[in-house]
Structure 1
């Protein structure tokens, strides 16, 4: 006799402590365990063997639902498929999919790559993925994600105005998919074809001083009412046109007054963490005026490790942000930035006839050929010394009303 809802609900365990099996129809039965728990089971035959299929737990799986699952299993049997074997296959597939989700592989990719990154950068990378990518596709099997699906996610970031973030996310997603391809977990990179479908950031050139702006800038620096250390740091930036991070991190141990040379170690240079391990230091010839500035600074901070110590925490270097704020107080907000000093010097030195290769070496622009980069670290040093001396005199001349400084001979 078929089971009823009330019969299933009121079924009690066998008083003898055995499993009570209550038959429904077409192989379905409800098993009442000695503990009172109730399970649906289906008896069937496949390839001449009698088998048992777990259907569900009562009452989570109702009588109606159990019958529907039984009927689905019978359809599989009619097609020649073993429903029990299919169930096992689906579980294996689900288990594999669970470890091959986009998020799982993205975290694997992050672990693999981040040992070459600065810890703060590594934290920012995974935080951006957690904020923008994982909520949308993190739980999806990586092999099932399509370009259109990823495009929708990236366009949400794009529409919020975060074009640079979107661009970086696409690149990082591409890295995740490439890892999945190399490890046999997907066949294609759906991030690759999206380059043409997304906006590109319209980069703005650094705001740099023009030749005619320098006299007024020097006058504004002279009027600046901030600390002497900040004023001298600003002047050193103009005289050496190094990167502000290199200047802020400078230590007295890097300065050789006798050789008139500043040796910037690779760990302070603008390089990837991997490149810093093998890159040479950057050598900066120091003009006489730069040495004068450093000697004055030694009276201010000579007993400290850093040339520009932090005012509140003297054991740490001054923040590069200090120079940006000083530039704003001088009236140059939106008109010039610190990094623009490099562009200003490069433009004027090129226009004045200096060797472009020597200028590039002074700017420490990356050399694509690693062997040549090691060889070139001191190349053009004589030209660079003459150039830096001319540049310091040129800057001083602009403070004296634009005095003309003759171009030095190549033999100088």
Structure 2
């Protein structure tokens, strides 16, 4: 049986042709990616052998075996030259998944943000190419896709700290797989196997906002040089990438507003998350005061929150060194820093701010997400006893009002 094998950490082909065992050495190191690529070549060789279209010297021109198969090569070349259309039809060059992935990723980078491009490339390298790389695009089946999805839930190496992949992350892996298969199906005219494979259900993540008292406690006791940073986070609902990328040129303290025009993701300046994310945030007095103090510290730098060299803060480092130790010291429940955004939203709702205004402040295009995520924090949203209407009626002398109507 044909296979790709290794000798001294270098890969070689091992197959039979005309009853003779052929071993053809390569200079490629024994890696998963190289094995995948050579397996693709080997599959093509086997297909050509079955169709009597294999010319040994075309694939291995420097091999000592070329002389052994010279007469076969000449016969097959003659047939291929006399039947070019048939040969082209039989050997339709549908690329392997690994080959097409290289092309597809390059083509799509132009429309992706750098952080997203890195994410997708990582998914291909870590998940998709090891599983599908050796198959031609038309050989991948729906059953194979479904079995693969089920197989990656459990970690390959079970250790004390290993965890199952979340449904959300598995969906992230499947999204580019669907995209590349659909594109290949269009280009090479075969039915896409990614049919009626629905995303896995994702349970809503419970938000854990701070109470106003907890916010006040945190801001009063957090390290002084980070008090202004967290004041802005707690009272503007800015996303992590937005506050990381906040520059002084987008802060207008005369108009008490911050413009969200850029974000910072993994050290790269990018555009905001969505069209609605381009926005003007109206600043409350605590935020204005905090920014005025911060201007005395970093006003001569580009970024509002940065180190002594003017480089923006590394939010992972801040979380590890400041955020969690502060929560532990104050005996507050450990929560992700993103909860500052949820906290701001719930405090705005509790204060009775207009939901449409809140949605715009947060960078949402509608109030839909606001009510879906924070519904239990909307005054009277979960109350179904009619008490709010009762209080309205109590404010009016109902009988008197009725009499006035008929006068």
Is the shorter-chain TM-score for this pair beyond 0.5, marking a shared fold? yes
* Correspondence 1:287 to 2:284: yes
- Residue deviations 1:345-391, cap 9 Å, x none? 322332433211111111111459xxxxxxxxxxxxxxxxxxxxxxx
Q: Is the 8 A contact 1:101 1:138 kept in 2?
A: yes
Question: Which of 227, 233, 247 does residue 231 from structure 1 map onto?
Answer: 227
Q: Secondary structure at the match of 2:125?
A: helix
Q: Which residue of 2 aligns with 1:222?
A: 220
Q: Which residue of 2 aligns with 1:194?
A: 197
Q: Which residue of 1 aligns with 2:207?
A: 206
Q: Which residue of 1 aligns with 2:105?
A: 110
**How far, CA to CA, are the matches of 1:173 and 1:157 in structure 2?**
14
Q: Is the 8 A contact 2:253 2:288 kept in 1?
A: yes
Q: Is the 8 A contact 1:309 1:315 kept in 2?
A: yes
- Residue deviations 1:120-179, cap 9 Å, x none? 431331232122222222221212211111222222222222233321221111111221
CA-based RMSD: 3.6
Specify every segment of 5 or more residues in structure 2 that has no aligned partner in the other structure, as ranges: 1-65, 156-163, 368-407
Where do 1:171-186 residues align within 5 Å? 171-186=175-190
**How far, CA to CA, are the matches of 1:245 and 1:38 in structure 2?**
64
Q: 1:108 to 1:252 in 2, by over 3 A?
A: same
Q: 1:90 to 1:334 in 2, by over 3 A?
A: farther
**How far, CA to CA, are the matches of 1:85 and 1:139 in structure 2?**
31
* Correspondence 1:155 to 2:150: yes
- Residue deviations 1:217-263, cap 9 Å, x none? 42243223x3x331110111112222122122211221222212212
**How far, CA to CA, are the matches of 1:125 and 1:289 in structure 2?**
40
Question: Which of 278, 301, 306 does residue 303 from structure 2 map onto?
Answer: 306
Q: 1:53 to 1:341 in 2, by over 3 A?
A: same
Q: Is the 8 A contact 1:282 1:364 kept in 2?
A: yes
**How far, CA to CA, are the matches of 2:336 and 2:313 in structure 1?**
17
Q: Is the 8 A contact 2:97 2:133 kept in 1?
A: yes
Question: Which of 230, 245, 249 does residue 249 from structure 1 map onto?
Answer: 245
Q: Is the 8 A contact 1:103 1:139 kept in 2?
A: yes
Q: 1:162 to 1:87 in 2, by over 3 A?
A: farther
Q: 1:193 to 1:89 in 2, by over 3 A?
A: same
**How far, CA to CA, are the matches of 1:279 and 1:305 in structure 2?**
24
Cα offset for 1:267?
Answer: 5.1
Q: Is the 8 A contact 1:133 1:153 kept in 2?
A: no
Q: 1:295 to 1:150 in 2, by over 3 A?
A: same
Q: 1:273 to 1:235 in 2, by over 3 A?
A: closer
Q: 1:122 to 1:148 in 2, by over 3 A?
A: same
Q: 1:365 to 1:162 in 2, by over 3 A?
A: same
Q: Which residue of 2 aligns with 1:329?
A: 325
Q: Which residue of 1 aligns with 2:376?
A: none
Q: Secondary structure at the match of 1:263?
A: strand
**How far, CA to CA, are the matches of 1:307 and 1:83 in structure 2?**
69
Q: Is the 8 A contact 1:110 1:126 kept in 2?
A: yes
